[in-house]
Chains A and B, each alone.
Chain A
Amino acid sequence: MNIKKLLLRNETALIIAIVVLSLVIGIKSPEFFTLANLFDIFRSSFVQLIFALGVLIVIISGGIDISFPAVGIFAGYTAVVLMQRFEWNPENLLLPIALAIIIGIILGAINSIAIATFGIPTLIATLGTSGIFRGLMLTFIGSSFISDIPVALDKFATADLLKIQPEEGTLARLHILIIPVAILTIFVSLLLTRTMFGRSVYALGGGVEATRRLGISVKRTQAKIYMSVGGLSGLAGILYVSLQRKANPYDLAGSELDIIAAVVLGGASIMGGYGTVFGTVLGVLLISLIKGNLILLGVSGSWQRAAVGALLLIGITVQALNESKKAKNRRVSTSDEVGE
């Protein structure tokens, strides 16, 4: 790949944006360039990234899922409630994580039925199920804030891989999640690039009819996609509960903006067919950077949402402009290919 192509890549633009933004923030407030702050940005990115990986899969396939925050909190909160009710209090994390993932997959299966079986447009289907999931949780599972979460989850919140005490300043803690999240990220990347399922996801985003004609089952692929997103959201939900050390059924509402913005900024085409895991990782880091550190620039917290919203629109506008530019080039180069 030549330099020009490399520079035109979305990932390159994102890295430049992250570096420039870091420099600007760093010049204004020196505490930005500390290890503690870097590790904090990572910590706030873990849950976001897991959600984003699910959303990436769905966006590449040409669909959208906005029910993932509802699925995440439903799975996380319900897992905690179940464990409390049955007085399960194991030492390790296996049970809560397994519970949350299974609940997530079940909720994802409901999305699958709406989308693959009944053919409801994905945005409307998941908007509907999002409301249903939250409503069912508040009615049947519980609506109260739980602060005494199971001990394994609570302990995990402070499970650090590294603790570094600089000569001056705050203790820098690198959470152990960096390892499983990195493994998961690589796994999803391999899933998307090296497996038939992953390529079917891209195929679906490239054209539903063409995919069907290839002999790929569109419905089965869609079902797998929405169940995977459900499972990933369930995992993200329980980890969110653990890191927050509380289970609040009203949490995560509104987080779809941050995550969809991260995925779209990461280069995934909202029309489907394009997107990379690496781009999504960068997108998530950029959003975390903005959300966590814009305050250091003296930008008030209430402006963060506006900033993320603006970034989402910028990301989509850039995509649209690139697309029309490409289409124009293509039209000129092939416009003479007519005739019998």
Chain B
Amino acid sequence: MSTLLTAEYGVKDIVKSFGGAKALSGVSISVKSGEVHCIAGENGSGKSTLIKIMSGIHAPDTGLIRLGDKSFTKLSPREAVHEGVQVIFQDFSLLPNMTVAENIAMPTYILNNSRILSKKQTKEIASNALDLIGIDIDINIPVADISIASKQLIAIARATNLGVKMLFMDEPTTALTRKEIKRLFEVVEQIKARGVATVFVSHKIDEIQEICNTITILRNGEVVGDGLMKDFNRKTISQAMTGLDVSESRIAPKLEKTTKKVVEIKNFTTKPTFSNISFSIAPGEILGMTGLLGSGRTELAEAIFGQYPVDSGEIIVDGRPIQLNSSSKALKAGIGYVPPDRLTQGLFLEQSILNNLVSVGIDQYQSTGGRLSKTRLIEAGQHWIKDLRIKTNNPQNPVTSLSGGNQQRVVLAKWLAMNPHLMILNGPTVGVDIGSKREILKIIRDRAQEGMAFLVVSDDIPELVQICHRVIVIKNGHISKEFSEAQLDEKTLYEELS
């Protein structure tokens, strides 16, 4: 047991390049068993590459992988599993067509080199794994039919099952509510007590301060800071991550008094999801909307864009009522909607960055005879890349080549190109790093200054306080409270929410 307690896991002097670009240049990280270590860094800093090397998906160019008393120059995914390395990926990496029980039990079977499986044993393994972290989920249903929060918990149960020595958690809290995050942290404490070396990858500084003992900060593929968590604070972490002095003070532009309304929502009702919702947004105004899971806020946002059915109510855009339940009418009236799940709803992933940028409102680029003008497309694409500072060396690369923050900017640019009167942003900075988040909030502010109205749907209270003129809180399908600019304050908002 004593060897396990002092075992060290990590990498030494890892170098990895893709094509010409260096993703990691000489990175060393060491995590002791029973320790929670944080790897912090912006998107594109090399965190994902590091995880992929540790889990055997990529081979490093040079350097060593150290797992206890063993060293490897590279790992195969199979070896990684055998050596007790488990990764909870951001997308959970679960198999939707198989049951919860099987998803949890598979790694155990693989670890034991089992050829024959029994249903009874599968269920036992799964129940034990769930018991171990104190979670109660029906193990007989397919993963395709469960909620995102449950998927996260199942991924954790699966990874923390027997034999894990080093556990990576890549942005584990992204899809969780505060209550669920608390539960997750209790689970992490248990894993820690079992002597697992845990690596927690997150953008959220509050969370890593709460849960981690030690920290390594990456920037552009290099270690720019490491040591004990207590020697760092919010400011020093942000600074190391971004290389900039980052402030989180309010950046909402001054709003001029006007009686003009860009959009008026009157008595929107779809029972039981929401009822009697009325509000309006003025030109240049940034209205925040928040609420807990299941409050109806996402449905409401989709309803304004005509994607979620509205039973009764009225929507008036620029003084003219528009037809409900039609996203094409909403689009024509000047409403834009950026969905939360950019990967499946907002982007054509395999298409080039350029094609994505110009995909909304493609009609604008027609030349005579209905043919698309290539020069105009490229000009427009380059304009947006420059304007929103999208980091790429070739706009013809697929969108998948970009980091999360840059992908989000592509989605944003795509809709801004339409010049909507009202832009609805649902979770605009979910899964985006501090630097990109700041950029995105700045883009919103600048557009608002030019008169574009915004509806920002978000869980991120500090972000809402930073950017919004007004925030409405949705509870059980009703507007429970409205906060004016003067009343905006993180503490009171949190209180209203919980």
By a beta-carbon cutoff of 8 Å, the part of chain A in contact with chain B is 194-197, 199, 202-203, 205-207, 209-217, 272-274, 326, 330, 332-340
- Contact between A199 and B117 (Cβ–Cβ < 8 Å)? yes
Given contacts A195-B117, A215-B107, A337-B149, 17 further A-B contacts (CB under 8 A): A194-B116, A195-B115, A196-B117, A205-B97, A206-B97, A206-B98, A213-B93, A214-B81, A214-B107, A215-B77, A332-B299, A334-B148, A335-B298, A337-B148, A338-B340, A339-B340, A340-B430
Identify the interface centre among B57, B77, B174: most chain A CB within 10 Å of its CB.
Answer: B77
Chain B residues in 8 Å Cβ range of A206: 95-98
* Contact of A214 with B110 in the complex, beta carbons under 8 Å: yes
Binds A, one of B189-197, B243-251, B289-297: B289-297
B460 surroundings in chain A (CB, below 8 A): 339-340
Which residue of chain A is the closest to B81 with respect to CB atoms? A215
Q: Please determine whether B109 and A196 come into contact, CB atoms closer than 8 angstroms.
A: yes
In the bound complex, do residue B426 and residue A210 qualify as a contact, i.e. CB atoms below 8 Å apart? Answer: no
B430 adjacent to A338 (CB under 8 Å): yes
Question: Using a Cβ–Cβ cut-off of 8 Å, how many residues does chain B contribute to the interface with A?
Answer: 54
Q: What A residues does B89 contact at CB under 8 A? A: 213
Chain A's closest residue to B105 (CB) is: A199
Q: Are B55 and A214 in contact (CB under 8 A)?
A: no
Docked pose: A199 CA to B118 CA in angstroms = 11
By a CB distance below 8 angstroms, the chain A residues around B42 are none
B302 touches A335 (CB 8 A): yes
Chain B residues with CB under 8 Å of A334's CB are: 147-148
Q: Name which residue of chain B comes closest to A212, CB basis.
A: B77
List chain B residues, Cβ under 8 A from A212.
Answer: 57, 77
Q: What separation, in Å, do the CA atoms of A335 and B293 have in the docked complex?
A: 9
- A-contact 0/1 string along B79-117, CB 8 Å cutoff: 011100001010001111110001000110110001111
Tell whether, in the assembled complex, residue B430 and residue A339 are in contact, meaning their CB atoms are under 8 Å apart.
yes
Chain A proximity mask over B164-176: 1 for CB below 8 Å, otherwise 0? 0000000001110
Q: Smallest CB–CB gap between B209 and chain A, Å? A: 16
User: Which residues of chain B in 175-220 are interfacial with respect to chain A, using CB atoms and an 8 Å cutoff?
Assistant: 175, 177, 204
Q: Contact: A215 with B97, CB < 8 Å? A: no
Whole-angstrom distance between the Cβ of A49 and the nearest chain B Cβ = 24
- Which one of B57, B175, B302 contacts A213 once the chains associate, using CB atoms below 8 Å? B57
Per-residue interface assignment for chain B, residues 53 to 65, with 1 indicating a CB less than 8 Å from any chain A CB and 0 otherwise = 0010100000000
Chain A nearest CB, measured from B428 CB (Å)? 11
Indicate with 1 or 0, residue by residue over B128-146, a CB within 8 angstroms of chain A CB atoms.
0000000000000000110
A150 to B148, CA, bound (A): 61
Checking A194, A196, A205, A338 against B427 with a beta-carbon cut-off of 8 angstroms, the contacting residue is A338
Residue of A nearest to B117 (CB): A194
Expressed in whole angstroms, the Cα–Cα distance for A199 and B97 within the complex equals 11
Q: Give the chain A neighbours of B269 by CB distance below 8 A.
A: none
Q: Give the residue name and chain of the A residue nearest to B293 (CB).
A: A336
Question: What are the nearest 7 A-B pairs in CB distance?
Answer: A339-B459, A273-B97, A215-B81, A206-B95, A338-B340, A206-B97, A210-B93
Q: Which residue of A lies closest to B112 (CB)?
A: A196
**In the bound complex, what is the Cα–Cα distance between A210 and B96 (angstroms)?**
10
Closest to A60 in B: B97
Partner of A337, one of B55, B82, B175: B175
Q: Looking at the assembled complex, report how far the CB atom of A40 sits from the nearest CB atom of chain B, in whole angstroms.
A: 37
B458 at interface, CB cutoff 8 A: yes
From residue A306, how far is it (CB to closest CB) to chain B in Å? 32
Residues of A within 8 A of B149 (CB): 337
Min C-beta distance of B13 to chain A, whole Å:
25
- Known contacts A337-B293, A340-B174, A203 near B148 by CB under 8 Å: no
Q: Are A215 and B80 interface neighbours, CB within 8 A?
A: yes
5 A-B contacts (beta carbon < 8 Å): A196-B109, A203-B95, A214-B110, A336-B299, A338-B457
B429 and A340 contacting across the interface, CB-CB below 8 Å = yes
A-B contact count (CB 8 A): 116
**Chain A minimum-CB-distance residue to B113:** A196
Please give the distance in Å from A63's CB to the nearest CB on chain B: 15
Instruction: Give complex CA distance A2, B211 in Å.
Output: 45
Judge whether A203 and B302 touch: CB under 8 Å. no
In the complex, whether B22 has a CB less than 8 A from a CB of chain A is: no
**Does chain A have a CB within 8 A of B332?**
no
Of A194, A199, A326, the contact of B106 (CB 8 Å cutoff): A199
A273 neighbours in B (Cβ, 8 Å): 95-97
A338–B145 contact, CB under 8 A? Answer: no
Find out whether the CB atom of B298 lies under 8 angstroms from the CB atom of A338.
yes
User: Cα distance A213–B103 when bound, in Å?
Assistant: 12
> Shortest distance in angstroms between B435's beta carbon and chain A's nearest beta carbon?
16
Please, which residues of chain A bring their CB within 8 A of the CB of B106? 199, 203, 214
CB pair B299 A335 closer than 8 Å: yes
Closest B-chain residue to A198, C-beta based? Answer: B117
- Are B115 and A210 in contact, CB atoms less than 8 angstroms apart? no
Q: How far is the CA of A336 from the CA of B173 in the complex (A)?
A: 15
**Set A196, A199, A210, A336: member contacting B297, Cβ < 8 A:** A336
| Bound complex: CA A336 to CA B102 (Å) | 27
Tell me the minimal C-beta distance from B141 to chain A in angstroms: 12
A196-B114, A339-B427, A340-B430 as given contacts; A210 in contact with B94, CB under 8 Å: yes
Q: Nearest residue in A to B97 (C-beta to C-beta)?
A: A273
Quote the shortest CB–CB distance from A335 to chain B (angstroms). 5
Which residue in chain A gives the minimum CB-CB distance to B290?
A339
Determine the residue in chain B with the shortest Cβ distance to A210.
Answer: B93
Interface status of B78 (Cβ within 8 A of chain A): yes
Are B110 and A196 in touch, CB under 8 angstroms? yes
Instruction: Looking at the assembled complex, report how far the CB atom of B30 sits from the nearest CB atom of chain A, in whole angstroms.
Output: 24
- Neighbouring B residues of A210 by C-beta, 8 Å: 93-95
A330 to B147, CA, bound (A): 8
* A337–B147 touching, CB < 8 Å: yes
Q: Is the CB of B426 within 8 A of A338?
A: yes
Q: Which residues of B contact A340 (CB under 8 A)?
A: 173-174, 204, 427, 429-430, 458-460
Cβ of B204: which chain A residues have Cβ within 8 Å of it? 340
B126 nearest CB across to chain A (Å): 14
Q: Mark B408-439, 1 if CB is under 8 A from A, else 0.
A: 00000000000000000011011000000000
- Report Cα–Cα, A216/B110, bound state, in Å: 8
What CA separation (Å) do A124 and B54 show in the bound complex?
35
Cα A58 to Cα B275 with chains together (Å): 50
Task: Return A276 CB to nearest CB of chain B, in Å.
Answer: 12
Closest to A205 in B: B97
Least CB distance, B363 to chain A, in whole angstroms: 28
Give the complex CA separation of A340 and B408 in angstroms.
15
Q: Report yes or no: A195 in contact with B116, Cβ–Cβ below 8 A.
A: yes
B430 CB → nearest A CB, Å: 6
Provide the residues of chain A in CB contact with B145, threshold 8 Å: 330
| Closest beta carbon of chain A to B370's beta carbon, Å | 31
Chain A's closest residue to B181 (CB) is A340
Supposing A337-B148, A337-B175 touch, asked if A213 and B110 sit within 8 A by C-beta, the answer is no
Establish whether residues B95 and A207, one from each chain, have CB atoms under 8 Å apart when the complex forms: yes
B291 CB to nearest A CB, Å: 8
CB-CB under 8 A for A215 and B95, given A338-B426, A340-B460: no
A214 CA to B87 CA, complexed, in Å: 10
Instruction: Check A202–B97 contact: CB distance below 8 A.
Output: yes
Among A194, A214, A333, A339, the residue within 8 A (CB) of B118 is A194
Q: Which residue of B lies closest to A203 (CB)?
A: B95
CA distance A212 to B93 in the complex (A): 10
Contacts of B457 in A (CB 8 A): 338
List the A side residues contacting B95 at CB < 8 Å.
Answer: 202-203, 206-207, 210-211, 273
A207 surroundings in chain B (CB, below 8 A): 93, 95-96
